[in-house]
Amino acid sequence: MTQYHPFDDAATKATIETAKKHYQALAAAKQSTAGDSIADDGHLKLLASCISVTVSGGKICLNLPLGIGSVCLPIPAVFPDGTAAQACLSICTTWGIPTGVKVTVAIAGQIVVEKSFGKC
């Protein structure tokens, strides 16, 4: 049976709140150089959490937030079942509103797969 690894819901919510507060503060301060500048398109990606996972069946399966659901990511064949890995979740926002997530999976400190869901 496939095991789907969950990310920490509290960390996800806190990350979304951080992005929201960042843009609210810029709007309140009316900082034209940071928030209203043509250089700031409103996109912000923040790391939410990382978890320990294990390769199983040549993949890593995860439960993703924001209604995205369960997904499995392929792992290169050079990494056998049982290999320890780390999966990290970043939340993508536009003007503080969540628009997607990005997942990275690293083995021995090297990113072996990276995948975005939604707008990221």
Whether residue 31 has pLDDT greater than 60? no
Span 6-21, mean pLDDT?
96
Span 29-44, mean pLDDT?
68
Cα–Cα distance for residue pair 69/104, rounded to 1 Å: 16
Q: Global pTM?
A: 0.89
Share of the chain above pLDDT 90, in %: 82
Span 7-17, mean pLDDT?
97
Span 77-92, mean pLDDT?
98
Question: Rounded mean pLDDT of the chain?
Answer: 92
Judge whether 90 and 47 are in contact, CB under 8 Å.
Answer: yes
